[in-house]
Every structure is written in C-alpha cells, then in structure tokens.
Amino acid sequence: MATMKVGIVGASGETGSLIVNGLLQAGERNIVALVRLDSISKPANLALKSRGIEPRPLDTRGSQESIISALQGPDLLISAIAPMELLEQVPLATAAKIAGVKRFFPCAFSTAMPMGIQVLRDLKEDVFNHVERIGLSYTIVDVGWLYQGVFHAIPSGKIDYAVVFPGQMIPGDGNIKSGLTYLADIGRYVARIIHDERTVNKMVFVYTELWTPNEFYDLLERLSGEFLHREYASFEQLQAQIVEAEAKMPADPGNFLLRLQQIEAQYQISWGIRGDNTPEYAKFLGYLNGKELYLDLKFTNFKDYLGEVLAGRAKPVYDE
C-alpha cells in the first residue's frame, strides 16, 4: 500500500474523528489535522497531537495564499467541515488544486439523494460542481443514515443518554427501507477508499444494513420489553414544517432552530418517504456500492449495537 499524507479539515469533529480513527486503525500514520488557529491548543486538538497527528492552522476564510500555504504537503484532502460552512470548501478546493493536492474528498458523509430535495445537499452539489470545474480529482462518500440517529426514547428512560432526536416522528408509513451505518464503519470505509483507484472521480455509497423504521422499532420493543408509542408524519405534515420554517427565516435568518426544522423534515421526506437512501437508488444516481467494493469488511450489526445501547455501554453522539 502506497504511503500518502492525508489532510483532514474538521478532524476533531464528530465525522472527522471517525475518519481519523479509521485511518489510524488501518495503519495510516502521516495525517495532518487542519484546524482553526484559535482552537489549535484546545484539548481535542492536543489529543490528536498525542496520537501522532500534526495539527496545522488553517483559516478557510483567509487569503488564498494562506490557505495554499496550509495545504502544502498532503497528497489527499478530506473535508469534514461543519454544515453551515459548506461553501467555504469552494476557496479550499481552489487552493488545494494550486497546492498540489492530488485528490479531494469534499464533505458529503450523509444520505444518498438527488438535488432539489434538501438544502444542505444542494450546497454540497455547488461544491462538487466547483471541484469538477477546476479539474481537481475527487471522491464523494455518502454514508446513509446513522444507527445512532434512528431510535426513540423508551418509557423507562434507560436509553435517553443515547437518543439523538428525542421527538422525531416516523416518516410516511414507516415501511421504506433505508441504508443505515454504524458510526465507526465510516472511518473503516474511508481508509479503504483513499487507496482505491476505482473510486477516483466517483461517488461511493457506503452503509452497514438496510432497515425500515417499523423494523427497527419492532426490534427495540422486542429487546427492551417495552412498548413504544409510534407517531407517524405524512408527506403533507413534513412539507408543512418546511414551509413554516422557510416563511419565518427572512425575519430571523440566524435562527438555527428554524434551519434545523427545515433540514430535518427534508431529510425525512428523502429517506423515509421518497426512498432515496438505498443502494438501488444510489446506483441510479451514479454511486458505486461500498459493499460490492469491499466484500471482506466486517461491520457491527444493528441488533448488536442496540444491545450495547440498552446495556448502557454505547457512546453518545454529539456528547461534547
């Protein structure tokens, strides 16, 4: 396996840390964490340094010259940038091209879907199009919906610590299959993809298992022995949430909760009603299938993960 230097934007964030873990577990040792200057001494970045990773300051809003300078050295650049900073990848990609980066992984790491369905996806597509326009080699990796984001609180409260979206409703009739991914599997996939020439200038859809909402609620009831009240949201209800949020945004453009209301409902329509987040539809959109590429990769199944959650041993997501 050829040695390469990998730069990661957002290495201490939720997705970035998973990628770092996957790379280190796969034996990658030449990793640069590109971080804001004002956060380079924060505990999360010092922890990266203690693992042999080079923290390097990068201001994605700085001058082109400063970004080019920060990107000197890495052969490959992976972006796990924050959702509200997605368009900062446009100057980042331009600078990466000038700096000699050989391949760019723009921030995707979400469900498979076409344009025009979800606002974050449309911003990502703007970045993807820019990368193609400037002739920078790329790989786009989408990872489905997360195990950690699909389940509901149960009456006893014993899994409240691990519930990400406490009030979420089940989209549609709950019978649409969706690609779900165990968080740690993201890093394992990326560690393979960075060395795989088949993925250059391609989109790759990776996932762990396919489940419908009703199936995973049935499983949670069976394993916990508790009854779950299920609330379903129709397309019309979800669309009304989007319309309501978008109507209020002009008067309160900085309101994160309004943006979250819009984004969550758009996601639910996409994966839970339209059925976009499946390997079949991803293939229609032009994705390669990670399971077909890496037949030997071992994964954590959803039933085992849910057992860990019920036993109180699962690591909460976004727990910082």
Q: What is the set of active-site residues?
A: 124
- CA dist., res. 242 & res. 259, Å (int): 9
- CA dist., res. 142 & res. 182, Å (int): 13
Contact predicate 121/140, CB 8 Å: no
- What is the crossing angle of helices 256-268 and 235-248, to 10°? 160
The DSSP bridge partners found for residue 180 are 145, 209
Q: Which two tokens stand for residue 29?
A: 């040792």
